[in-house]
Amino acid sequence: MNKAVSILFIILRLFLGGMMVYGGVEKFQRPIPKPTEVVEKAQKFREPEKENTLQKILYISGAKQTGYFWQVLGVCELLFGLLVIFQGTGFIGALLLLPVTLHIFLFHVFLEADEAGELLLAAALLAINILLVLKEYPRWRHLLWIRPL
């Protein structure tokens, strides 16, 4: 692989890893709202034209109210992002991060499709993640083919 492509992949790994570390840290910055606070906030968006905002509020608040999912997601983003950043663990980090970036992308497709900038960023993160996994295809392609006994 030529030097320019190698540098490009390093930049992509740093970008993806940095975004995931940032997102993971952000999940622990604010306290989890109480269920009554969520209900009060949701009441403000009951009109039909604000249904999309209500869906986002209820989805994210529901993840936070489980008492574990929001934190697990934050830890995964943080840990897998760090794995992507480091040279020796970049592939395993990218592989483990794939469901997380897919989830982020699908969240933006179905719940924030009107936010074009965020949707493009989520699509870019997923595309970078897929590229980082496909870059190592020669190392894992043998896992896809069934060999005769």
Both 87 and 14 in one domain: the answer is: yes
Boundary (domain end) residue, out of 66, 84, 108: 66
78-106 pLDDT, tens digit each: 999 999 999 899 999 999 999 999 999 99
The answer as to whether 138 is a domain residue is yes
State residue 148's pLDDT score. Answer: 57
Residue 101 lies in a domain: yes
Domain assignment present for residue 149? The answer is: no
Question: Is there a single domain that holds both residue 71 and residue 81?
Answer: yes
The ranges of the chain with pLDDT < 50 are none
pTM over 0.85: yes
State the total domains in the chain.
2
Q: SS3 string of the chain?
A: CCHHHHHHHHHHHHHHHHHHHHHHHHCCCCCCCCHHHHHHHHHCCCCHHHHHHHHHHHHHHHHHHCCCHHHHHHHHHHHHHHHHHCHHHHHHHHHHHHHHHHHHHHHHHHHCCCCHHHHHHHHHHHHHHHHHHHHCHHHHHHHCCCCCC
- Which domain covers residue 47, as residue numbers? 33-66
